[in-house]
Structure 1
Amino acid sequence: MKLFVRIFSTLLVLAAFCFADTTSITPVDSTKTATDSVITQETKKHAVWIKLEGDVEPSMYDFCARAIDDALQENPDYIVFEINTFGGRLDAAFDIVDTIMAVKGPTTIALVKKKAISAGSLIALACQKLYMLEATTIGDCAPIVQGGDGTPQIVGEKIQSPLRAKFRNLAQRNGYPELLSSAFVTPELEILELTATLDKGKKSQRDTTLIIEGSKYSVLDSAAKAFWGAPKILVKEGELLTMTDKEAQELGFSKGTFKDRSEFETALAIESRSEVETTLGEDIASAIAAIAGILLILGFGALYIEFKTPGFGLFGIIGIILIGIVFLGQFAPQLDGYIPAILLVAGVALFLVEIFVMPGTFLFGVGGIACMILALALSYSPADIPDYVPEAVEESFDATPWLFGLLYMLTCAAIALVFPIAASKYLIPLLPEGWTPMLKTDLETAASPTEAVQEVSVGDEGIAKTFLRPVGQALINGKLFDVQTHGEIIEASTRIKVTAVQEGHIWVTVAKAEMEG
């Protein structure tokens, strides 16, 4: 009997262990509530911000593609595209849209900061979700070109059709109103909203709405029109759909409106975030793209003037430089790490042009020095900031170490100027009488620009003392003057003849006797 009791007791204990809820032995923190656990779980969201601001250009696409690649490395929950643009080039917008649509994993979100107009609205709808800040707008994506009279004109159906198809595709993919999306592009559409009450007078009474084209509503029979009642015009014929933040939410585009970024992050339970910054090359490409038209106009204008004047001179060099800037601006993002070296080489080249090709103009010399200073400044990194710089100051330059480099070199240049200024004021007066650091011949022969008008006349002849490329110096009537040719290059020691004297400038050419010889 005792043996039976022992066996039965043992089996009972084993059964208790087998069927017991093992979760009951997990330690529980009595200070935590259900709300706390939900917040803890939700606040583990991580977002990466990508700002799309300014004109939609190929440079924006280059940045967007790189930024998305960088963002995916962080394995975020959200990729937030903060949009603020009046639009731009459709080809660049299509490339950006395709890049956003190719994102796998994180939820893509468009947050309209101020405006998403034209191509900006296309980019916004490429994202899976759309949110807007207060007092923002979105819409108006009709493609336009400049007409013959200089006024902007909406392009024809050949361009509108594929653009409408793109909007419909994005609407179908991301759950936006499809018909209203077409009204972003085509002003000929009239969009109406119809509302009817179902099961009127019953507990199940409810309203239903229908968005329809005006042309389709006009062909409804009287019974159907009576059922739906008076229509509400959402988009008038001849107008493009442009919505405020509230209208976008009412019409089913926006998921919500927020006062600022902080409120947006709280609503989406974003606990941590990072932001992809533009590189120096991308900033340069964006800046050049913004003024590319002006640079091209000035560049071709300078080349036209050069073609109308003999030889090759200042305007030809300026034209080539301006057009070259526009061309190389397309490759600035790819050359980001080489920009300081490129600037240094460009600075040295400009300085050599000032010395050997066009002496006396100062334009190329100043430009060369500026390029070299900027190159050295951009080569600075946070590690280059000296240890003696206070920590608070060093932290302020962490994001822009090049600015510290620029200030550092300008300070050195200012200190370097102290010695010659002090020497001219205090040291030179102590030198023996008659002694000067300048060459005596220069003092005796140099002439001021005003003397050129008084002492040099058309037809006077002299000797070129330096190479005239086309600017240089010549000895005329026993004095040294700055002179300029009409574009030709004249070697030193060549006999020259004055052809014009205008506003202190002396224009010369090779003397006739020299040419015959």
Structure 2
Amino acid sequence: MKAYKPFLVILLAVLIAPMFGTAVEPPKKPLVYQIPIKEQIEPALLYVVRRGVTEAKKEKADAIVFVMNTPGGGVKEAREIISLIGQIDVPVYTFVEKDAYSAGAIIALATKHIYMAPGGVIGAATPLVMSPFGGVEKMPDAVEEKMTSAVAAMVRAAAEQGGHDPQLGEAMVRRELGYTVGTNVFSKAGELLTLTASEAEGILSEGTVKDVTAMLEKAGLPDAEIKTLEVTPAERIARFIAAFAPILLMIGLGGIYIEIKTPGFGLPGILGTAALVLFFFGHHIAGLAGMEDVIIFIIGFTLLFIEVFVTPGFGVLGISGIALILISLLNAMTWKVPGHFWPAFNDSTLQLAIGNLVLGMTGTALVGFFAGKYLPQSKLFRSMVLQQRTDKDEGFTAAHDQSDLLGKEGVAEMNLHPAGRALFGDDRVNVITRGEFIEKGTAVRVIETSGSRIVVEKISAEV
């Protein structure tokens, strides 16, 4: 038995050892955050991208992928997204799902890794000015060159940031350059550079893949957990509403102005209120306006209302009300970093907000001018306003004529401070002094009558 004891001890140690050992956790999968850049690139989409990057940083993502299918959009928004990409400290990929034109191509150039789906296209980033009535507006040669030069410099900087050929980027902007690599001509002089997925391989794209999963496998992240930023239906609606901010401001402020100038509460007030609700709703859902902007607007409007209808003249209340209204509208159109109260004021974000506010206020002024000039003559306005004269010549009187009381003496039936009642014989009459206090029982004399307004003064002798 002694001979087997060492073997039994060893066997027991082998069986018991795992019970006291440290459990080894399986390796954590890398997290990849997928952010869509789809449809038009405009301020509300810019917020969605910011929100996605902020969430990715918060969750410590190992990489970020922009899934792109866009016809382009605003140069200012593209510049903001490029700047945002430069602040990301993890690998950033662009997957061109279908189209990456104009501003989309510029954003893609700012990322170090570009992959494309079969049939994808990237390029054609020359600046265009769209007409308000649709189509492209022709620019003067000097203006066109100025804009093209600025965008070309922006594209070169984006390409340098992403580690791509700056001349390739500039060829997407300037058609006169063309682009050639060795004996391969990708665009002739006079043609803007636009690349298909197969053409982009090797000179811009790192590969053609069917989807993001295949892209990550090729990029060395085959087992990554993919988390997609979801764009909510409310954000989609908000993107549409935010694009019409000046029109909503014009209808909202103009409708309220007309409502103030007309009796009762009718269609202008309803339309104005609805437009302002849509304005704040759209910018709130898009991440631009917060409830504090709505509260500031209501406070400002209340102060302005008090100044116009309650207090005489126009002073501190009115000026403060107008200032608060303008601040709330401007703040509602300026983007905020998610989770922060104050807006991120800078030149690019303020310029659009100020431009929209100026357009809206100009429209409001025009609405007020034409309403004041033509509304009183309209059938609708005349149907809401009493047209019959009610003056003395037509047999109307504002109040009972009490001029016969002038000079009469009586006694204050109660303390007058300054209004109250006085007895003139057997008649009780509501009277008022010129501001002085008169005690009950003091003799008074009527010194002025104007309709129902009877003014009295104190007689030195008591009755």
TM-score norm. by structure 2 comes to 0.51
Which secondary structure does the structure 1 equivalent of 2:95 belong to? Answer: strand
Give 1:278 shift.
Answer: 3.4
Give 1:234 shift.
Answer: 2.1
Is 1:510–2:461 an aligned residue pair? Answer: no
Q: 1: distance between equivalents of 2:243 and 2:198? A: 32
Q: Which AA in structure 1 matches 2:386?
A: V
Kept in 2, the 8 Å contact 1:310–1:486? The answer is no
Kept in 2, the 8 Å contact 1:192–1:233? The answer is yes
Is 1:266–2:217 an aligned residue pair? Answer: yes
Give 1:306 shift.
Answer: 6.4
Is 1:486–2:380 an aligned residue pair? Answer: yes
1:16-48 per-position Cα deviation (integer Å, ceiling 9, x unaligned): xxxxxxxxxxxxxxxxxxxxxxxx98x933211
Over the aligned positions, Cα root-mean-square deviation in angstroms equals: 4.1
Kept in 2, the 8 Å contact 1:302–1:318? The answer is no
Partner residue in 2 for 1:491: none
Partner residue in 2 for 1:50: 35
Q: 1: distance between equivalents of 2:101 and 2:42? A: 14
Give 1:255 shift.
Answer: 0.7
Kept in 2, the 8 Å contact 1:280–1:336? The answer is no
Is 1:64–2:17 an aligned residue pair? Answer: no
Is 1:174–2:162 an aligned residue pair? Answer: yes
Q: Which AA in structure 2 matches 1:61?
A: L
Partner residue in 1 for 2:238: 285
Partner residue in 2 for 1:235: 187
Query: Structure 1 vs Structure 2: percent identity of aligned residues?
Result: 31
Give 1:261 shift.
Answer: 3.2
Q: 1:275 aligns with which of 205, 228, 232?
A: 228
Q: 2: distance between equivalents of 1:89 and 1:327? A: 22
Kept in 2, the 8 Å contact 1:81–1:110? The answer is yes
What does 1:265-344 align with in structure 2 at a 5 Å threshold?
A: 265-267=216-218, 268-278=221-231, 282-290=235-243, 295-296=247-248, 299=251, 313-315=266-268, 317-319=270-272, 321-322=274-275, 325-326=278-279, 329-334=282-287
Q: Which AA in structure 2 matches 1:145?
A: V
Which secondary structure does the structure 2 equivalent of 1:259 belong to? Answer: coil
Q: Which AA in structure 1 matches 2:150?
A: P
Partner residue in 1 for 2:147: 159
Give 1:148 shift.
Answer: 10
Is 1:97–2:82 an aligned residue pair? Answer: yes
Q: 1: distance between equivalents of 2:178 and 2:388? A: 80
Q: 1: distance between equivalents of 2:36 and 2:216? A: 15
Kept in 1, the 8 Å contact 2:107–2:158? The answer is no
Give 1:96 shift.
Answer: 0.9
1:104-151 per-position Cα deviation (integer Å, ceiling 9, x unaligned): 1x2100111221111111111121201111111111111111469964
TM-score norm. by structure 1 comes to 0.46
Q: 2: distance between equivalents of 1:316 and 1:247? A: 58
Which secondary structure does the structure 1 equivalent of 2:79 belong to? Answer: helix
Partner residue in 2 for 1:248: 200
Q: 1: distance between equivalents of 2:50 and 2:132? A: 36
Structure 2 unaligned blocks of 5 or more: 1-25, 299-377, 397-463
Partner residue in 2 for 1:108: 92
Which secondary structure does the structure 1 equivalent of 2:182 belong to? Answer: strand
Q: 2: distance between equivalents of 1:146 and 1:333? A: 24
Give 1:93 shift.
Answer: 1.0
1:207-258 per-position Cα deviation (integer Å, ceiling 9, x unaligned): xxxxxxxxxxxxxxxxxxxxxxxxx5322233221111111114x1111111
Which secondary structure does the structure 1 equivalent of 2:93 belong to? Answer: strand
- The verdict on how the C-alpha distance between 1:146 and 1:53 changes in structure 2, with shifts beyond 3 A counting, is closer
Q: 1: distance between equivalents of 2:79 and 2:280? A: 22
Q: 2: distance between equivalents of 1:68 and 1:44? A: 19
Q: 1: distance between equivalents of 2:161 and 2:379? A: 68
Q: Which AA in structure 1 matches 2:213?
A: S
Q: 1:84 aligns with which of 40, 59, 69?
A: 69
Kept in 2, the 8 Å contact 1:86–1:116? The answer is yes
Q: Which AA in structure 1 matches 2:238?
A: A
Partner residue in 1 for 2:109: 125
Give 1:336 shift.
Answer: 8.1
Which secondary structure does the structure 1 equivalent of 2:125 belong to? Answer: coil
Q: Which AA in structure 1 matches 2:194?
A: T
Q: 1:136 aligns with which of 108, 120, 142?
A: 120
Give 1:165 shift.
Answer: 1.8
